[in-house]
Structure 1
Amino acid sequence: MGILDARNATRFVREFILLGFPWHREIQVLLFVIFSIIYFLTLLGNTSIICAVWSSLKLHTPMYILLANFSFLEICYVSSDVPKMLANLISQNKSISYTGCLLQFYFFSMCAAEGYFLSAMSFDRFLAICRPLHYPTIMTYHLCVRLVICCWAGGFLSILMLAVFMSWGPFCGPNIIDHFFCDLGPLLALSCVPIPKTTLTCATVSSLIIFNTFLYILASYTLLLHAVLRVPAGSGRNKAFSTCASHFLVVSLFYGSVMVMYVSPGSRSHPGTQKFVTLFYCMATPFFNPLIYSLRNKDM
């Protein structure tokens, strides 16, 4: 009976209040303008990459197909929380429904697929540089399509389990989230009763996704660096370094911010730090990624 009452407690919470950035009105309006410009440019940059890959036959290669899907993923997850954050900056009503909060958490957490796509892109670069003669026969169009499907499916399914566990958690108040979107940590902190299994499961799944993909990418780049250093100094080595530099920079931005968000214990105890890191991750990295790939890539 106690378990049933705990589950029925979710009925008491029909909405959450996102505090966001509780600063002066003038500062909130200024942030709205700045964030709106960044959001628009982020959509424009990633959409441009998708259109370029779609329209140019020269870019119908595995590397650019993966890049186009990567850009579409960034459009999806940046649109899961930024529009609501912008609306809260200029509105007095900062509420979000219970269902909307869970959906926002789910679609933002789809960034897990970003780790899979970065792993697939590192695999593609490894084959192109370390196995150049075998690259056309290994990295075929069909293999590229299978990699894309696996990345999307892995992102949807791994985060679906977390969203289901979160929906089982009893929330009966308070309903105030000291964040600008429904993130994992603030939601777990509002649970009426201790949910150690859900917390442990969420932490385990998140850590496995982050560390497994990161270690795979790190191993790929170790082998890449070893292969590049064996190339005689000159245009060949410079081209190899230039090919991987963009991808490595994006990997650094992604995993640097994600590990501070979900791995560093200190970031969770300071809401201000968590907001800043999350803001950098959800706005700065999608904004810079199109610039990194387009400015350092002659074909693009």
Structure 2
Amino acid sequence: MNNSIVTEFLILGFTLKPELQRALFIVFLLIYLVALLGNALIVIAIICNITLHTPMYVFLLALAIVDIICTTSIIPKMLGTMLTTGRSISYESCMSQLFFTWSLGAEMVLFTTMAYDRYVAICFPLRYRTMMNPHMCVTLLGITMVIAVTNSWVHTGLILRLTFCGPNTIDHFFCEIPPLLSLSCSPVRINEVMVYVADITLAIGDFTLTCISYGFIIAAILRIHTAEGKRKAFSTCSSHLIVVSLYYSPVIYTYIRPASSYSFERDKVITVLYTLVTPTLNPIVYSFRNKEMRTGIQKVFAFLRH
């Protein structure tokens, strides 16, 4: 239920200086186009190429869809505030944006699932098809969806219970929980506790499981006898771990701290890493460096040229 008497919020964004706004508009527009086109190519290539209908690419497909949803829920509105003086967003639109942004929880679970998939493929190659059968893939994707939707509903629902009766300026570039809590006229202790619990269970929990999977993968790589094989394997794992770290580090930093330590100016920059940068890097790290994926994308371009 909406207990708020505030009907709209004003999104402050990164800066109010026109010259900086123009520069940031170009930067974030390029980031959005790269993220959108890169992830859209992955979706089309995987759907249209039957040879890519394997567990690894199905998880990549899900990751690309999540990235498209999350970036699209944030960047277009942010770009609009940079172009015009209209920085307002309705209460309902703000809550919708919050819901879809928190579906990024699916990305955490997908990182863990993809790490587990690679662990099985590298450590148990002869049993891979049996262990990662279609039923297992559907189950893992179902669990991911349930966790993401539940996470979004819980946090959005708790925000909807709050009363906003005073200042309505969100000191951020989108509707984010910490700045919204600072505007509430109601007690926010339960919201802070639930954000902390979600960060412990989802962010730290998934990050730990992901690192464990890659730990086993690295141990298996060390048993590879050829130097070239080790180099290629370590190159792939290291790039994956860099992207995972870029995502988890700011998420954990943002939500696990006491509310009294928030600095919205600093947090805006940190938030960019997991809401905008990571979705842009995912296609490059997880897909474009993959030979089968590149072949699938080339087929898409070949089809479009005819």
Q: Same fold (TM over 0.5)?
A: yes
Q: Distance in 1 between matches of 2:142 and 2:37?
A: 25
Quick one: which amino acid aligns to residue 261 of structure 1? T
Quick one: which amino acid aligns to residue 271 of structure 2? T
Comparing 113-122 and 223-232, the one that deviates more: 223-232
Q: Distance in 2 between matches of 1:136 and 1:267?
A: 50
Structure 2 residue 259 is the aligned partner of structure 1 residue 272:
no
Using structure 1 for the length normalisation, give the TM-score: 0.91
Quick one: which amino acid aligns to residue 240 of structure 2? H
Q: Distance in 2 between matches of 1:268 and 1:132?
A: 47
Partner of 1:227: 220
Does the 8 Å contact 1:260/1:267 carry over to 2? Answer: no
Partner of 2:173: 180
Does the 8 Å contact 1:267/1:274 carry over to 2? Answer: no
Q: Which sections of structure 2, spanning at least 5 residues, go unmatched?
A: 294-306
Q: State the 4+ residue runs in structure 1 displaced beyond 4 angstroms.
A: 264-268
Using structure 2 for the length normalisation, give the TM-score: 0.89
Does the 8 Å contact 1:20/1:181 carry over to 2? Answer: yes
2:162 aligned to which of 169, 174, 191: 169
Q: CA deviation at 1:214?
A: 0.9
Partner of 1:142: 135
Partner of 1:283: 276
SS, match of residue 103 in structure 1: helix
Partner of 2:147: 154
1:78 aligned to which of 52, 71, 74: 71
Partner of 1:109: 102
Q: Distance in 1 between matches of 2:106 and 2:261?
A: 23
Does the 8 Å contact 2:70/2:104 carry over to 1? Answer: yes
Q: CA deviation at 1:266?
A: 9.2
Comparing 245-254 and 281-290, the one that deviates more: 245-254
Identity across the alignment (%): 38
Count of aligned pairs: 293
SS, match of residue 96 in structure 1: strand
Q: Distance in 2 between matches of 1:109 and 1:241?
A: 32
Q: CA deviation at 1:269?
A: 2.5
Does the 8 Å contact 2:3/2:161 carry over to 1? Answer: no
Partner of 2:15: 22
Structure 2 residue 246 is the aligned partner of structure 1 residue 253:
yes
Q: Does the C-alpha gap of structure 1 residues 267 and 195 become closer, same or farther in structure 2, counting only changes over 3 Å?
A: closer
2:24 aligned to which of 24, 31, 55: 31
Q: Does the C-alpha gap of structure 1 residues 89 and 58 become closer, same or farther in structure 2, counting only changes over 3 Å?
A: same
Q: Distance in 1 between matches of 2:200 and 2:54?
A: 32
Deviations for 1:231-286, whole angstroms, at most 9, x for unmatched residues? 22334434543453443232122112222322355995322111111123222111
Q: Which sections of structure 1, spanning at least 5 residues, go unmatched?
A: 1-6
Comparing 230-239 and 213-222, the one that deviates more: 230-239
Q: Does the C-alpha gap of structure 1 residues 92 and 122 become closer, same or farther in structure 2, counting only changes over 3 Å?
A: same
Quick one: which amino acid aligns to residue 131 of structure 2? I
How much is the aligned-residue C-alpha RMSD, in angstroms?
A: 2.0
Does the 8 Å contact 2:204/2:252 carry over to 1? Answer: no
Q: CA deviation at 1:8?
A: 8.1
Structure 2 residue 38 is the aligned partner of structure 1 residue 40:
no
Q: Distance in 2 between matches of 1:151 and 1:269?
A: 30
